[in-house]
Structure 1
Amino acid sequence: MQLHVFIQPIFMPIFSRAGLLSGLGMLLSLAAQAQTPAAPKEAPVYKASLDTAFQKGSGLVLSKLTAQQLENLTALGQVWGFVKYYHPVVAAGQVDWDKELFRVLPAALASRTTAERSALLGQWIAKLGPAAPCATCAKRPALPVRQEPDLVWLTDNRLYTAELQQQLDYLKHNRNQGSHYYVAEGNVLSPGFTHEEAYATHTYPDAGLRILALFRYWNMIQYFFPYKYAIGENWQQVLPEFLPQFVEAPNALQYRLVTLRLLARIHDGHATLNPDATLDQYMGAYIVPAAVKFIDRQAVVLRVRQDGLLPRPPLEPGDILTHIDGVSVVDIVKQRLPLTPGSNEAGQLRMLASDLLRGNTDQTQLQLLRAGKPLTVSAPRYLLDKLPPVRPQPADSAYRFLKPDIGYLTMAKTKQQQLPTIFRTFKNTKGLVVDIRNYPTDFSATQQLPGYFLTKPKAFAKFAKFDISYPGRFLRFSSKFLKPIGTPYTGKLIVLVDETSISLAEYTAMALRATPHAIILGSPTAGADGDVSRIVLPGNLVTRISGTGVYYPDGRETQRIGIVPDVQLRPTVQGIREGRDELLEKALELIDKG
C-alpha cells in the first residue's frame, strides 16, 4: 500500500519566519494568563527609567581591539553581568545598567594593568553603595538543586586583584533577594527579561552598543540558561572569542551574522533570530515554491507547490539538489551551518533547508540528480511576501481512517473540542496513529490528548526552574502528571516524530510516550523542549532561549538529544520519489502485527 501524506509546510525560512515560532513557553504563558487574569495596576516608576543619557548611542568609536583592551573588556563583561544580577541596587531599578556600562567603558578600555583595571571596577561598584548583610543568602532552598552557579571566574588572579575578588565575593554572599528589575518571574517557569532597551533606531549599532549586545546575551546565558552545562564548551571562553568579532563588525549585516554565530553556539533550537530587512536581503527576497529536506546530508526536494495558483517549478519530489546558481550545496551548508541555531545537526539542517532556495533574483539555475541522472533546470522564484497562501485543508482533515480498523490524526489540525468526537469515532479501532511531524495547532489539545489513553494519573516530565535569589542556580521542580479522561482507548498508539517536531511537539511526544501501548516512530526530534524566554539585543534583534529545563521523570535529558524514537526510521529518496510516506507505512505494519 502506498500512503500519500504531506507533512511539512512549504515556506518556513530560517532566521526569519521560522524564528517567529513562539514555542511551548508562549503557549503556556497565554494559557496561564487566560486562567488567572491579572487585575490592572499602576506600573511603578523606577529611577533607572529616568536616565536619559546616551539617546544617540554610546558614543564609543572603536574598530579594533589590542590584547590589553580584549582582556579589559573580558573582565568588565563578567563583572558587569554579575553586578547586574546580584547587586540589590541594580535589582531595585535604581540605575540603568546599560548606561553605567557606557560611562565606564572608556576608562576600562584605557586601563593598562590588572591593578589599574581592578581599582576602576572596584570604585565603580562601590558607587552603588554597600549591599546590606543578607540573612537568607546562606540558606539552602526548599527544592533540590539541579545546577549551581558557575562563579569560578571570581577567583581569576589574571583578571582581578585580591581586593576586587573579595569585594565580589562579599556581593555573592549578600546578593539581592526577591524581585528584580531586569528579570521577572511570571506564570511560567522561564525567566522574563524585562526593561531591556532594544535601541530599535540603531540598525547598525555603534561599538559600545555592540559590546552591550554581547555582554547582555552572554550574561543571560551565564545565569539563566538551564542547559548551559550541555553547550559542550567552556562558556567563559566564548566571551573573549566573540569580543573582537562584535567590535570589528563593519556594518549592519555583519553585526547580525556575528550575532547568529553567537546564538548558534548555545545549541538551542529556540535560539532563532526574528526577521528584519537586513537579514531578509541577505537571504533573498525570492524563493522557489518547493520544500526541501536533508536526507543523509543530501538536499532532497520533498514536494513542489502545485495548487494551480503558480506555474509548477521544473522540480520533482526526490530530486537531489547538488548546485544552486553554480555553488555546491555542500559549500552552502558549510558556510551557513555556523550561522544556523539548532540543538542538533538535524535541527540545523531542517532550518537551513527552509532557506536553501531563497535568493534575490526571480530565476535560479539548479543542478540536480533525478533518479541518478544529472540535470540542470532554471526555476522561477517568487517574492516571499507576495506568495499566495497554501489553501487550507478541510476542517475534518484533522483525523481520518487509514483503514477500517486504524485511525489517524495530525496535531497540526487537531483542536481540543474535536477530541471527544475523535475518540468516539476510533473507539473500536485496533490502532491509532498520531502525527506530530508538525507544530501542534492547539495547546489545549496537546494537554488533553494523553488523558484519553490512561487509566490512572501518570508522571511524564520533570522541570528545572531558575532561582531568582541566586542567579545561575536552577532548582528541580515537581513532576508533571497526566490525568485520565473518560474510558481509555486500548488500541495500539503509534506516534510519528522527526526533526520538524520541536518544543510543544516534543513535549506532546513525551506525554504520549508515558501512556500504555505507545510506540514512538521516526527519527530524533529537534531537542528544544520547554518554555521560551524572549531576548532583545541592540538594533532590535529579537531571539529567545529555552528558559526551563525539561527532563523525563527519571532525570534523562531531552535538550540537544530530542525525543529518541522506540523504532527509528527515516524517509528515503526512493520513497519520496514514489510519493510514499514510509513512516506511515511502518506505523500500519506495527499496528497490524499486533
Structure 2
Amino acid sequence: MTASIHFLVTSLFNKIGRGGLLLLIGLYLVTPLGVAAQDGFETEKQLNYFRIWGFVKYFHPASALGQVQADSLFLAYLPKVDSAANQKQANLVFRQLLRAVGVPQGEKVKAQKNEPKGAFLLKNLDEAWRTKNKFLSSENRKLLDQIFEHRFTGEKHYYTYVRNNPFGGTMPHEPEYAYKPEENLPYPLRMLALAKLKAFIDYLYPYKHLLDENWDAVVGQYIPLFAQCSSREQYERLLLAVNARLDDTQAYPFFRQLHYREKLFKNHFFPPFDYQLAQQKIIVTAIIDEALCKRSNIRRGDVIEALDSVAVGEWGQALNAVLSVSNESALWARVGEWGDNLLFRSEDPVMQVRLTRGEEQLTTTLRLMDPSASAKAKLIDSYFKKKLAPPAKKNKGLVYAAKGIAYFRIDDTFRMIKDETSEEDFRLMDSLFTRAAKGKGMIFDMRGEPDNSDFVYYYAFKKFGRPNHYFARYYQLNPHHLGTYRLLTQPEVYYPTEITPEDVVYPGKVVLLVNGATHSIGEWHTMSLQRLFPGSITLGQPSAGADGDVKKITLPGNYTVGVSGNGVYYPNNAVTQRLGVRVDEEVQPTVKGILQRRDELLEKAVELINGEGKNEVKE
C-alpha cells in the first residue's frame, strides 16, 4: 500500500470506523489501489511549488493587477519542476520563477494598527513554510520575503475582487477549462486544479484552522493521486474527496455537479416511497409507487434500520467521508434529501432491508424505482407536485402555535407583506408584531431557508431592537494581508442605520427553533434574534455551522467549490463555524414523534412558554 493510500485509509478509519470504511473501499473512495508510489521528495517538491505559486498569485502586485496570468505561470514552470531530480535543482526552478516575476518596487508595506483591539483574525497565519522551510534555499526564502514586504494591498485584486459583492461570490478570472465529460483532464490541468484549491483555502478561507486535518498534509497526500489519475471519473472522485476535507456545509452541494455522480454513488434507482430520518433510521412517510411498495412489503410507518445488511447510521457516517459538512447535525439534515438519493445505494433495482413495523421486525426485498422510465417519472412528478404545492389560500396574518403563542416560520414570512411600498410593509409588520407582543409567547422557527431577509434585519429590529445592535463579530478578507481577516465595525453590517428602533421590551417568553437545516443567513438571523430577545431560549440540534457569505472558485473541468468566505463569531468571540449557533437545550426528533406526525421541537417550545418561571437573560 502506498503512503498516500495508507494516509487516507488511516484518516478515514479514525473518522468513520471499520464498517463505514469497508463500505467506501471499492465503492467510490478516491484511491485506486493500483496507483504507483511517489517518493517523499517528489511530493515535497510539488507541495513547495504549490505554496510558492499560490503565494505569488495572491501577493505579487503583477499577479494582483492581472499583468501576470497565474495559470500560465503555473503551467510554464510545472514541467521544469517535474524534471528537477533533487532539492538543489528544484530550488533553481523556484528561483527562476521568482526572478521572472521580480521583486516589486516601491516602499515596504507598513503594518496595520490593531484598532479596535482584536480587529484582525490571524488564526490561519502560517509563515513558517517560507521563513523556516529547510527545503527552500536561503535565496528563495529571501525573495519570498521581499515579495511579501512589497505585496499588493489594494481592494481590487485581480483574483479576489467581485464587482458589487464585497462579501462573497465567484472569484474572478478563473478559467473553466471545460472538457467533454468522457475526457480526462490532462496532467498539467489536474495539478493546476489541486494547486488552485490549496491556495484558495490558504488565503481565502477563514476557517482553515478548524479543519479536522492539516491542510498541507491533505494536499500532500493527494498530489500523487492527482498526478496519476487515469480517467475523468477518477478525477471527480479525487475532487469529491478533497472537497469533503473542507469540513464546511457550504461546500456540501459540490457532488451535485459531478458528471459521474450516479456512478460514484451508485444511486440510479430510487426508493418507491418518501421518508424522513430520525435517530439514524429511515421512516417511511408516504407511498409514491403503490405497486412496488406492495411487492416489497413496504408500508407507511415502517422504520428501516439497515440497507443491504448495513445499518443506516453506519452508511451515513461513511457518507461523511465524501461529503463536506461542518458537523453531524448538518450531515443528517441533508443526506435524507429524496432527490439526492444518497442512502439507497444499489447497482440494480433490488436491495435487502431490515425494518421494524410496530413490534415486528422484518427483512424484505425492496424493489427500487427507475426514474428514467416514463411511467415511474410520472409517479414521481405527480407526488412531488402535490407535496410541494402551495396552499390555495395563504393566511396573511399571524399564525399561532397555541393560544397566545405567535408562531413565525423563517421560510414563510414573505406572505405577511404586500411587497409594494416599504412604508406599507413596515406598517403591516409593526401591526403584526404589536399583536404578537400582547400574547404570552413568541416562537421563531429557524429550521429552513429564510424567504425574506428583511423580516429580521428590518422588521424585527425596528420593533424590538435597541441602539448598537452588535450581535456578532463579522470578519471580512483583509486586502492588506490575504489570509487574515478584518473586523467590520460599520453598523449597517449588523443593523439598518436608517431606522430608529422602538426598543420594545417584550415581557413574554421567546423560543427559537434550530436544527441542521438552519444554515448560513438563517444562522446569522438566529444570532440577531438571540440579541433582540436576551431572555430567549434556543431549542433543537446544532445548526449547519456554516455562517458567512459563500466564496466560490472555478477549478479545471468547470467544477465550482464554495466555502464560508468570511469569519462570523459571537461578540465574546465564541466561534459559530463547525459548532453552529448557541443552543440552550438540545431536543432531537424521535421515530415515535415522526410516526405520530408530531413536531416535537414545536411542542417543547409551547411547553416551555406555558410553563412557570421567566426566561433568564443571557450575556
Which interval holds the TM-score relative to the shorter structure?
0.7 to 0.9
Are positions 1:167 and 2:143 aligned together? yes
1:257 to 205, 217, 237: 237
1:145 to 1:107, Cα distance in 2 relative to 1, 3 A:
same
Instruction: Answer with 358-367 or 161-170: which moved more.
Output: 358-367
Identity %: 27
Paired residues for 1:555-566 under 5 Å: 555-566=573-584
Aligned to 1:436: 446
Aligned residue number for residue 53 of structure 2: 80
1:90 aligns with 2:77: no
Aligned ranges 1:50-89 → 2 under 5 Å: 65-89=38-62
Q: Structure 1 residues 64, 455: closer, same or farther in 2, change over 3 A?
A: closer
- Distance, in Å, in 2 between the alignment partners of 1:482 and 1:315 is 51
Aligned to 1:393: 390
TM-score normalized by the length of structure 1? 0.82
The answer on 1:300 being equivalent to 2:271 is: no
Aligned to 2:176: 198
- Secondary structure (helix, strand or coil) at the match of 1:536 reads strand
Cα distance in 2, alignment partners of residues 104 and 364 from structure 1: 51
Counterpart in 2 of 1:277?
259
**C-alpha deviation, 1:434, in angstroms:** 1.6
- The alpha-carbon distance between structure 1 residues 352 and 250, as it changes in their structure 2 partners (threshold 3 A), is farther
Match of 1:529 in 2: 547
Secondary structure of the equivalent of 2:605? helix
Q: CA deviation at 1:79?
A: 0.6
Indicate conservation of the 8 Å contact 2:433/2:463, yes or no. no
Partner of 1:491: 508
What do the CA deviations read for 1:542-578 (whole angstroms, capped 9, x no partner)?
A: 1200001111112111011111321221112222222
What's the secondary structure of 1:108's corresponding residue?
helix
Q: Please tell me whether the aligned partners of residues 410 and 434 of structure 1 are also in contact (alpha carbons under 8 angstroms).
A: yes
**Counterpart amino acid of 1:508?**
H
Instruction: Supply the AA of the counterpart residue of 1:369.
Output: T
In 2, the alpha carbon distance for the partners of 1:522 and 1:87 equals: 47
How far 1:588 sits from its partner (Å)?
1.0
CA change 1:66–1:128 in 2 (3 A) is: same
Residue 145 of structure 1 is matched in structure 2 by 120
Q: 1:309 to 1:488 in 2, by over 3 A?
A: farther
Partner of 2:538, secondary structure, is strand
Pairing of 1:107-256 with structure 2 (within 5 A)? 107-140=80-113, 144-147=119-122, 149-178=125-154, 179-184=156-161, 186-190=164-168, 192-201=170-179, 203=181, 204-256=184-236
1: CA distance between counterparts of 2:197 and 2:38?
A: 20
Answer whether contact 2:517 2:544 (CA < 8 A) is retained.
Answer: yes
Deviations 1:81-130 (A, max 9, x none): 01111111111112221122112111101112222111111111211233
Distance 1:64 1:94, change over 3 A: farther
Deviation string 1:41-61 (CA, Å, 9 cap, x unpaired) is xxxxxxxxxxxxxxxxxxxxx
Q: Deviations over 1:139-171 (max 9, x none)?
A: 446662221632210034432111111111111
Q: Which amino acid in structure 2 is aligned with residue 124 of structure 1?
A: L
Q: Secondary structure at the match of 2:470?
A: strand
8 A contact 2:109–2:149 mirrored in 1: no
User: Which position in structure 1 is the counterpart of 2:19?
Assistant: none
Q: Helix, strand or coil for the counterpart of 2:161? A: strand
Matched position secondary structure for 1:172: helix
2:561 equivalent to 1:543: yes
Q: For structure 1, which segment, 507-516 or 347-356, has the greater mean C-alpha deviation from structure 2 after superposition?
A: 347-356
Aligned 8 A contact 1:450 1:482 in 2: no
Q: Which amino acid aligns with 2:523?
A: E
* CA deviations over 1:252-274 (Å, ceiling 9, x no partner): 22222222221222211101204
Question: Comparing 98-107 with 314-323, which one deviates more in the overlay?
Answer: 314-323
Look up the SS of the partner of 2:476 in the other structure: strand
Q: 1:538 offset after TM fit, Å?
A: 1.2
Q: What is the TM-score of this pair, normalised by structure 2?
A: 0.79
Q: Give the SS at the match of 1:501.
A: coil
Q: 1:357 to 1:429 in 2, by over 3 A?
A: farther
Aligned equivalent of 1:29: none
Secondary structure in 1 matching 2:56: helix
Could you tell me whether the CA contact under 8 Å between 1:527 and 1:559 is conserved in 2?
Answer: yes
Alpha-carbon distance in structure 2 between the residues aligned to 1:421 and 1:307:
46
8 Å Cα contact 2:249/2:330 also seen in 1: yes
Residues 318 and 554 (structure 1 numbering): CA distance in 2 closer, same or farther, change over 3 Å?
farther
Amino acid at match of 1:122: R
In 2, the alpha carbon distance for the partners of 1:422 and 1:375 equals: 51
Q: 1:518 to 1:285 in 2, by over 3 A?
A: same
Contact 2:404 2:440 (8 Å CA) reproduced: yes
Deviations 1:366-402 (A, max 9, x none): 3222335322342543529863233323263685222
**1:534 and 1:544 in contact (8 A); partners too:** yes
Given the superposition, is the C-alpha separation of residues 67 and 486 from structure 1 closer, same or farther in structure 2, using an over 3 Å criterion? closer
Distance across 1 between alignment mates of 2:297 and 2:455: 39
Q: Which has the higher strand share?
A: 1
* Structure 2 contact 285–300 (Cα < 8 Å) conserved: yes
AA paired with 1:342? V
When residues 125 and 135 of structure 1 are mapped into structure 2, their CA distance, relative to the original with a 3 A threshold, is closer
Instruction: Kindly report which structure 2 residues correspond to 1:371-386, keeping only aligned pairs within 5 A, or say none.
Output: 371-377=358-364, 378-381=366-369, 383=371
| Alignment check: 8 A CA contact 2:329 2:541 kept | no
Q: 1:230 to 1:381 in 2, by over 3 A?
A: same
Gaps of 5+ in 2: 1-34, 418-428, 613-619
- Amino acid of the residue matched to residue 413 of structure 2? T
2:71·2:192 contact (CA, 8 Å) conserved in 1?
yes
Question: SS where residue 321 of structure 2 aligns?
Answer: helix
Q: Shift of residue 299 of structure 1? A: 2.3
Q: CA deviation at 1:294?
A: 4.5
Query: Where in structure 1 are there 5+ consecutive unaligned residues?
Result: 1-61
Change (3 A) 1:193 1:141: farther
Q: 1:294 to 1:275 in 2, by over 3 A?
A: farther
CA drift of 1:444 comes to 2.2
Q: Which amino acid aligns with 1:505?
A: G
Over residues 222-251 of structure 1, what are the superposed CA-to-partner deviations in whole Å (9 max), with x where a residue is unaligned?
111111122243322222112122223332
Q: State the one-letter code of the partner of 2:221.
A: E
Alignment-derived partner of residue 369 in structure 1: 356
Q: Is the 8 A contact 2:284 2:303 kept in 1?
A: no
Higher relative contact order (CA 8 A, sep 6+): 1
Count of aligned pairs between the two proteins: 531
Aligned CA distance change for structure 1 residues 485 and 439 (closer, same or farther; 3 Å): farther
Structure 1 residues 107 and 481: CA distance shift in structure 2, 3 A: closer
